[in-house]
Structures are given as C-alpha cells and as structure tokens.
Amino acid sequence: MIRNQYNMDKELGQRIKRIMLLRVFFLTGFVGLLLTFQERLGITAPIGPLCVVISIGFFFSLVYALLFKFLPLTLTASCQVVGDLLLVGGILYTTGGIDSPISFLFLFVIIATSVMLPRAAVFLAASGAIIIYGVLIDLEYYGFITPVYLFPESKISFESGYVFYIIFLNIVAFYTVAYLSSFLSHRLRIIKDELEKTSFNLEEQRAFNRNIVQYMGNGLVTIDREGIITSIYPAGEKLIGFSSQESLKQNIKTLIPSIQLNELLTESKSSALPEQIEREFTRNDGKKIYLRIKVSNLSDLDVPGFILVFEDLTEINFMQKKMLRTEQLAAVGRFSAGLAHEIRNPLTSLSGSIQVLAKGLNLEDSYKKLMNIVIKETDRLNAILSDFLTYSQPKKNTNTIVDLTQLVQDVIILLKNKEDFSPDKKIIFEGSVDHIILNGDEEQIKQVVWNLCINALEAMTVGTLSIKLRGVSNYHSQNFHSNRRGVVLEVIDQGCGIAPDQMENIYDPFYSSKKNGVGLGLATVYQIVHRNEGALDVKSILGKGTSFIVFLPDLETSLSLASNL
C-alpha cells in the first residue's frame, strides 16, 4: 500500500513537471511567433497588453515551481489549473475577446487537467473555462470592458445568432474534450496500475522462486548442450565442493566425471530424459559422498540445455547399509544361536570326560601334554561359544550407577596380569581427577572396554596403548548427533592399523584379519554400543595405529562427577 502511494505520488510529480515545462515552451513559442509574424498576420494593435499577460504567465510558472516544493502535489496541480484558466482568459481579452481565434487554448488547459487530476476535476476545469469565457462575453456585451483587438475587428453583431452559435460550440467542445480526455486518462491510469501490479506480482514471484532455488536442500545446476555450466546455486556449490567462480563456464565433465552422465547428455540419449543416476562422488575437498543426479531437458528457453538436480544420499545410503547389516546379523544370530547350544552341550560333556580321564589314568608325559592341549582347546572353544551366545542372544540391560573410572582401571589391571601380556607394551590411562559416574549396564560397558583393549594389544608388537575417558554434555560426529549427556571413551594403539578396504567390514561377525581371530570382538562392541543408543567411530592410519572413539549416553540423562570415590 505504501509502495503504491509512493508510485502514484512519483508519477503525479512527473506529470506536473512535464506540464510546467510545456507551459514555458508554449509561452516562449507564442511570443516568438508573435514577434516573427507580426506583419504577416496583419497585427496593427499594440502587443503590449498581450506581452503583459504572457509575462504574468512566466511569473505564474515561477510561482508554480516554488509551490511544487512546498505544497501537496494535488493542491499544486489545482493551483496551476486555476492559473492557466485565468491566463487563457487574459490572452483572449488581449487578442479580441469574442473575435479572438485562439479560444481553443481552453482545450489545452482541460487536457492538461486530465493529465494531472481525477475526472471530476477535469469537468470542473471545463466548467471554469465556460464560466470565464461567458463572463468575458457578458462584460463585453454590456460594455464593461473593451477587448484589445490584436487582429482586425470582425464587426460581428451581438444580436446575430452567430455569437450564440460560437458560445454553444465552445461549450460543447469544452465538455466533449473534458469527457474524452478524462476517460482516456482514467483508462490509462487503470491500465498502468494493472501493469504495475502485474509487474510487482511477477517480481514477487520471481523473488519467491529465486529464494526457493537459493535455499533448497538439493543442488541445482544448469548447463548448455555442450555441457558448459551456465548457473549454479548455493546448495549445488556445497554438494560438489566448487564455488560459482570455479564452476561457471566450466564443463560439467571436469567437475563430475561420470560415463553415465556423459551418455545422458548426448543427443541420442537426451530424448529419453528425465533420467537419474546414483553414484559415489569425491568432492573438491576430498570428502566422498553418494549423489543422486536427476537430469532433465531445458528446452523452453532461447538457449537450450539441461537441468541437473543433485541430492545427497550419503546418510540414506549409510542407513541402508546399517539396516542391511542389522538384518544380516539378526538372521545369523537366529540360526547360529541354536547351533551353538547344540555344540556346547556335547562339548561340555567331552571336556568333563577328558578331565576325569586325565586324573584317573597314569599316562606318560607326552600323553599328558596331549591331554592338557585337548583340555585347553576345549576351554578355548567353549569360550568362543560363550562369546558368540553373548553376541547372538544379548541379555536385557540391567542399568545401575557405574563408576567408569574404576571400571577402566580394573580392566587395565586384568590386562597387565594376563599370561601373554608383553613387557614391551605399555598401557596409559588418561582421565579426569574426579571419577566419572554413568547410569548403564556395567557388564556390557566392561565388555566394550575389554574387547577394544584386547584388539589394540593384539595389533601391537611393541608400543603404547592409550585409554582416554571424559564426560561430555553432548556429542557430534560425522554420522551421529546427540544432545544427551554421556561419556566418551578413546582407545588408541600404535599397531599395524586397518587397511581402507577393510573399514566397512570390521564390525561384521566372524570377520577378522588376525591369524587366530574369531571376529566377534568388534561385532559385540558394535552391538552393545548401538543397543545403548551410543556411537562408535574409528580412525586408522595403516602402519601407524588405530583409534576407536565410543560415545555412551547416560541412560538416565544424569551424568555426574563423584569426587575421589
């Protein structure tokens, strides 16, 4: 509304300025013609009175210019109309009154009024012209005034019907011009307002569409038929890792090398569009993401081309793989749990029988060694089955208040007292002075710490195992975000590291790169962490070591610190 009023005032101001300029040009031209053609027109009377009237017109123009700066525009326009009517009346008086051939100047005043003011003001101006014209004739008729005859007097008698014909003709002309000019000006204003409204709506729609494209989550890129990028929007810059300055005028093949995309952009394949492809893509910053690219024709513009819409499916792809792994593990667990039970029952009988025989028989030393090996391997197999049953049939969480600092310290003592612990390996624990307390399942948390530490020690021949523990108010990683309080456990070794092609499989059950590994340690850790709504991240450099980062939330959301427990 404010904008419309501003536009109306601006337009009216421009119209008033044009009328003021035309008035000055008219008066100047009138004087020039009068002086140039004074003899040719047969002007014998003095032109002094007319020059006075024209001078008054110039003075009025100066006054109008001053009023334009101080008065409202409508009032300024009204003052100009009144002044112009009086000015034309003065010109008629100094050019012969009823004999003056330039009574048509009233028509210009009426037309100028239609340009500046509403329709009612135009009819008022026409009425004012008729009144002024009629007053001049009446005063001349009754002898109150004697016009200055600039042109030769026509000697027309007032008693003749010609005078009334002239008056009637002027009245009809004034009102006719008032009607037509006001009608046309009114229609012009309506059309202009509709055009401005349409333009404003179109601009708003363009701005709305521009904002949608600017802030949409999917990337949008347009290219021509040769594959040259013509436009790229912020989300597209973020997804492919190139700024608009780096991307514009570049070929899409150099930024996104893809055989499928190149085939879709050829003339023979473009008729089959829209199409979409999904592929892994390495961004400019080196980060790998999984993209879906929808390709469509852009043929309704002067420069035909293609529209490429990019959608980041990295998280969706990650969740799909996670769900597939979960389904696979569930299937393996259901099948293997029963098998483990069937194996464990005769194994227990076999182990007990061998132990009884070892005690009851008097065997040679060599046979005793063999018997001990059988007992040891039977215990090892039983331990593997126990781990597998723990993995495939997890117990229900029994949440208690756990002193994590003391738990980690107990695990370290057990690790250092293992038979196979090498003195070439060191274990360092870094934690806060105050003990960290967490609500959770103590046995499961202990299993996580134990398995990660065992894997770390087995990955090293010499070196240091670092265990770090700290409390956090929230946790955020690349694929996990939580605002819950909890603890972060880091287990860092200086071992052989994990090869990049093995990273995706390290949490799969029975997958192990170790010679005598079973492949249930990390799988159990992964299962426990995710069952407790936590996160498990790994960083590894081949030949330098591996770091496992575990986030476990406080299941009662009441992380606290116990001072020197």
Angstrom distance (rounded) from CA 234 to CA 217: 9
SS3 state of residue 486: strand
Residue 457 has pLDDT above 60, yes or no: yes
What confidence score (pLDDT) does residue 490 get? 92
Residue 393 has pLDDT above 70, yes or no: no
For the segment 389-397, the average pLDDT, to the nearest whole number, is 62
What confidence score (pLDDT) does residue 565 get? 42
Tokens of 47: 């032109």
SS3 state of residue 103: coil
Q: Are 281 and 256 in contact (CB under 8 A)?
A: yes
Residue 267 has pLDDT above 70, yes or no: no
What confidence score (pLDDT) does residue 124 get? 92
Q: With bands split at pLDDT 50, 70 and 90, how would you rate the model's confidence at 7?
A: low
Backbone angle region of 13, left / alpha / beta, with phi > 0 → left and psi within -120 to 50 → alpha? alpha
Q: With bands split at pLDDT 50, 70 and 90, how would you rate the model's confidence at 40?
A: low
Angstrom distances, CA of residue 69 to CA of 64, 72, 188, 336, 416: 9, 8, 27, 95, 95
What confidence score (pLDDT) does residue 322 get? 77
Angstrom distance (rounded) from CA 372 to CA 304: 82
Q: Are 325 and 507 in contact (CB under 8 A)?
A: yes
Q: With bands split at pLDDT 50, 70 and 90, how would you rate the model's confidence at 213?
A: low
Task: Kindly report, residue by residue over 313-370, the tens digit of the pLDDT.
Answer: 778 888 887 788 777 767 766 666 666 666 666 767 776 777 777 676 676 777 777 7
Which of 106-115, 185-194, 342-351, 502-511 is the most confident on average?
A: 106-115
Residue type, 179: Y
What confidence score (pLDDT) does residue 159 get? 58
* Between residues 19 and 242, the one the model is more confident about: 19
Q: Are 60 and 40 in contact (CB under 8 A)?
A: no
Backbone angle region of 169, left / alpha / beta, with phi > 0 → left and psi within -120 to 50 → alpha? alpha
Q: Are 64 and 83 in contact (CB under 8 A)?
A: yes
Angstrom distance (rounded) from CA 192 to CA 484: 61
Residue 402 has pLDDT above 80, yes or no: yes
What confidence score (pLDDT) does residue 166 get? 78
Q: Are 175 and 123 in contact (CB under 8 A)?
A: yes
Task: Kindly report, residue by residue over 196-209, the tens digit of the pLDDT.
Answer: 788 878 888 877 77
Angstrom distance (rounded) from CA 371 to CA 21: 122
Q: With bands split at pLDDT 50, 70 and 90, how would you rate the model's confidence at 68?
A: confident
Residues 241-274 as b/e (b if ≥16 CB within 10 A, e otherwise) read bbeeeebeeeebeebbebeebeebbeeeebeebe
Residue 426 has pLDDT above 80, yes or no: yes
Tokens of 540: 């590894």
Lowest mean pLDDT, pick from 238-252, 317-331, 427-441, 482-496: 238-252
Angstrom distances, CA of residue 77 to CA of 60, 71, 85, 113, 154: 13, 10, 12, 8, 37
Q: Are 354 and 330 in contact (CB under 8 A)?
A: no
What is the average pLDDT score of the chain? 78
Task: Kindly report, residue by residue over 14-31, the tens digit of the pLDDT.
Answer: 888 888 898 888 888 877
Which of 224-233, 321-330, 496-505 is the most confident on average?
A: 496-505
Residue 115 has pLDDT above 50, yes or no: yes
Which of 27-31, 294-298, 442-446 is the most confident on average?
A: 442-446
Q: Is the CA virtual torsion 458, 437, 387, 384 positive or negative?
A: positive
Lowest mean pLDDT, pick from 1-10, 68-77, 198-207: 1-10
The model's pTM? 0.45
Q: Are 479 and 315 in contact (CB under 8 A)?
A: yes
Tracing tokens 């990337």 back to the chain, one arrives at 219
Q: Are 282 and 239 in contact (CB under 8 A)?
A: no
